[in-house]
Amino acid sequence: MRVAIALAALTLYAQSPPVTYERLLNADREPGNWLMYSNTYNSWRFSRLDQIDTQNVKNLRVKWLFQGRHQEKFETTPLVVDGIMYLTRPENDVFALDAETGRVLWTYSHKNPEKTYNCCGRVNRGLAILGNRLFMNTLDMHVIAIDAKSGRELWKTEMYDYTESGGYAATGAPLVVKDKLIVGMAGGEHSISGFLDAYDTATGKHLWRFHTIPQPDEPNFGTWAGDSWKTGGVATWNNGAYDPESNTLYWGTSNPWPDYNGDFRAGDNLYACSVLALDPDTGKLKWHYQLTPHDTHDWDATQIPILLDAPFRGRPRKLLAWAARNGFFYLLDRNTGEFLLAKNFVRQTWVKGFDDKGRPEVIPGNEPTPEGNDQVFPGVDGAANWMSHSYSPLTRLLYVFAREERRVFTKTAIRHADEDVATPATVGGREGGGRGGGNGIFGAGGNLPADPAAGGRGRARFAPEESWGKVVAIDPLSGVIKWEHKVLTPPWGGVMSTAGNLVFGGTLEGVVFALDARTGERLWYFAGNERVYASPISYLSNGKQYVSLAVGDVLVTFGL
């Protein structure tokens, strides 16, 4: 008996193959799994599965539901590894599910304090995996490693004091590069000082920190007037991309603080609203490109970077495509940071043109004003936000679920760190929490009448017809829009394209759709009837293709 038990102990965890770094590098060769937030390191959010295609998608139906039973926005991107789905549910709960049936295998729960300091809801966007370890960031600024088989906590590291300087939080999915975990943070609405961190995946030990605001004696320190650099914001709250060939990590940064009042932070405010190219081994900056110098519109550059290789103006280039919150699609050389082109994909009022270096020539009159400037496009929540775009190598088009939105920019008084701006644990329901709510269906930005049951918060300033959403298919080499598919309301969900020539996504009213990736024609829909605040994934279970997307507080999985 003793021998038998000892043998059992030896074989523990030795069975299903762990997710090695090699597997992550070659994630596109196992399309049945979804191994990282954007599926592959180039962030295409493209599935090579083609069982569901333009011919049979009309037969797509619900296979199973995962009932989240939570009022907060459900922004997760699940991972799928060899038949098991791992996902986060607000606030920081982790579930392992049987990917065939949705039945729960284990759960893990991290309890946050009553007060956390997130701007826009007590949300989480997902996990990373390496070996048998799952990784999650928390609202109270911890990084946690969880055993993928048992759901047991393996290590927990505090990134930073979440209460400091008005408040820090972490809501994005982390990214594994080699043996390191790259972790961003949120808090650009507060007088914080942003950074991007790396941790040892085995031990949780902190390895490096890149300060998104240059410290004294560092290059570009002088882009902030006076002491404004100390409290300049610049968070890193979404996910990034990685190019193994050049060993470069790409990550976007948020707005400078204060968001809508730039008076005391004269200068370009680097590296706010920028694309960063970093060495993942050391955290050293290789190059940067600032999309919006001296931003006063909260136009974060925290979109997901898309990496692609293609001939451009006669020679092969390593490219980085970026559809930004400020309304412009950008194409850069990702090895050098060279600006190649920019073209708006929504209405815009603030740029006349770009110089050779890609610096925008700004049109006067777009600044926020104390009484509220309602003549600025795009709106506060931007043309794009955190929601994922998708690139299909079959159509060679970039799909962006864009926001055409009319809103008001108000120059606000500067809010200091000692004011209590915490988000209470009880927040939820249809208001996003923080920043005046307004992220839900019935709040500002929604195109439906106010819901009396939800407190009746409506806005009469603009007609609903002045704001809408659209899936646009952009040719990344020219910035030209090939087609667009209009939806009722500016969206909060992302898109995924597939080898079946389909583009999946969901609207704020809960319409889950599949479009023809070549034409934008809607080929299938499902009436989910609750807000979609997430981006879809696709995977195989028992050899059959499934598509999953969070709708309301339910993760819905579709199949043929």
- In whole angstroms, what is the distance from residue 191 CA to residue 278 CA? 25
Q: Is the preceding omega at residue 378 within 30 degrees of 0, hence cis? A: yes
Pick the binder of another protein from 56, 58, 59, 153 (CB under 8 A): 153
Rounded least distance, CB 242 to another protein, Å? 29
Stretch that binds another protein, among 152-160, 235-243, 359-367, 372-380 (CB under 8 A): 152-160
The residue (of 149 and 286) whose beta carbon lies closer to another protein is 149
Does 205 bind another protein (CB under 8 A)? Our answer is: no
By the 8 A CB rule, do 277 and 337 touch? yes
Stretch that binds another protein, among 99-107, 123-131, 331-339, 390-398 (CB under 8 A): 99-107
- In whole angstroms, what is the distance from residue 413 CA to residue 282 CA? 38
Pick the binder of another protein from 29, 58, 152, 230 (CB under 8 A): 152
Does 453 bind another protein (CB under 8 A)? Our answer is: no
Does 197 participate in catalysis according to the annotation?
A: no
Residue holding tokens 């939800």? 454
Q: Would you give the DSSP letter of residue 465?
A: G
Does 84 bind another protein (CB under 8 A)? Our answer is: yes
Beta-carbon contacts of residue 163 (< 8 Å; ≥ 6 apart)? 117
Rounded least distance, CB 108 to another protein, Å? 12
From the list 298, 300, 381, 516, the catalytic residue is 298
By the 8 A CB rule, do 150 and 134 touch? no
Rounded least distance, CB 21 to another protein, Å? 22
By the 8 A CB rule, do 253 and 299 touch? no
x/- site string to another protein, residues 400 to 439, per CB under 8 A? Answer: --------------------------x-------------
Strand stretches in 79-151, DSSP E: 79-81, 84-89, 93-98, 104-109, 115-116, 128-130, 133-137, 142-147
Q: Name which of 158, 155, 205 is nearest 179 in CA terms.
A: 205
Stretch that binds another protein, among 12-20, 214-222, 235-243, 352-360 (CB under 8 A): 12-20
C-alpha neighbours within 13 Å on the C-beta side of residue 23: 17
The residue (of 43 and 92) whose beta carbon lies closer to another protein is 92
- Residue 304 burial by Cβ neighbours in a 10 Å radius (0-12, 13-18, 19+): buried
Stretch that binds another protein, among 14-22, 180-188, 310-318, 346-354 (CB under 8 A): 14-22
The residue (of 101 and 336) whose beta carbon lies closer to another protein is 101
Does 6 bind another protein (CB under 8 A)? Our answer is: yes
Q: Name which of 513, 509, 511, 529 is nearest 521 in CA terms.
A: 513
Pick the binder of another protein from 26, 67, 101, 478 (CB under 8 A): 101
Does 315 bind another protein (CB under 8 A)? Our answer is: no
Does 12 bind another protein (CB under 8 A)? Our answer is: yes
Does 244 bind another protein (CB under 8 A)? Our answer is: no
User: Using alpha carbons only, what angle is made at residue 475 by residues 473 and 481, rounded to the nearest 5 degrees?
Assistant: 50
DSSP annotation string for 348-363:
--SEEEE-TT--EEEP
Does 186 bind another protein (CB under 8 A)? Our answer is: no
Residues with a known catalytic role? 298
Query: Which residues in this chain contact another protein in the complex, by CB under 8 A?
Result: 1-2, 5-6, 8-9, 11-16, 83-84, 96, 98, 100-101, 103-106, 111, 147, 149-150, 152-154, 426
